[in-house]
A and B are shown apart, each in its own frame.
Chain A
Amino acid sequence: MKISVRDAGETKIVEVEGDVDLGTSPDLRRTLFDALLHAPKLALNLAAIRYIDSSGIATLIEVLKDSQRRNKEFVLFGLSPAVRQVFHLTHVIRIFQVFQTEEEALGSA
């Protein structure tokens, strides 16, 4: 799994590539929590994720709840059919703000 972070105005955009599973989700968790500290809004690009398991979904739920506690925004975009299927299987898609594109995600505030 590869993770990178870039700025788009006041938003931190986190890009993830590869598989998010029990072995790699702790790295994603650290990166997202750190990025959330340094911006009022965090956008996660899931387009290049080939696989995500429940540990990855649980990480996103944790980050979402932390963002809400801090009055910050955490949004997702670029969900592939494979990733969307896992969100639906876990019934958590409704708690996230999900967008098709980065442009839409950045304009959501």
Chain B
Amino acid sequence: MPSAPRYLPVVRGAIGPLAAAVGWDESDCRAITLALDEAIANIIRHAYHNRDDGLIEVECRETPDGLEITMLDTGEAPDRTKICARAIACDQPGGLGTHIIKDVMDTVSYQATPAGNRFVATKRLRKTI
């Protein structure tokens, strides 16, 4: 997808039904959709500095135990020291997106690769017996 916010609804429209197909309930599907949206928004804002001519590759894949989201961009590499979730229960507006991603997903990783910045997040589906 291009690094333009107007494409965010397109991705949101795809990930929700995918999460539902994997087996999550409505509330979890909303949370997963939000986490993916926040991760893309972070790339638009911080890697591409709100430029809309960048490209973000988004792959959402069902795995044996849940869902894996992989994103690749060629914008500015993230400063790992600045990737931090805000402290919860405070009234500062910054860092909310990163907090949501870490809260919703089970694992989150950022990696600089020769192909670009790679973001991988996974979520396990906890099956009830």
Contacts and interface: CB of A to CB of B under 8 A. Distances in A.
Interface stretch (B38-46, B64-72, B73-81, B116-124): B38-46
B31 A89 contact: yes
Contacts of A82: 30
A90 B101 CA distance: 10
A21 B12 CA distance: 11
Nearest to B99: A90
Contacts of B31: 85, 89
User: Chain B interface: which size bin?
Assistant: 20 to 34
B38 A94 contact: no
A90 B100 contact: yes
Contacts of B100: 54, 86, 89-90
Interface residues of A, number: 26
A53 B91 contact: no
A33 interface: no
23 contacts: A19-B12, A21-B37, A21-B41, A22-B5, A22-B45, A23-B6, A53-B38, A53-B41, A54-B41, A54-B100, A57-B93, A57-B96, A61-B93, A62-B93, A85-B27, A89-B31, A89-B103, A89-B104, A90-B96, A90-B99, A92-B96, A94-B89, A95-B91
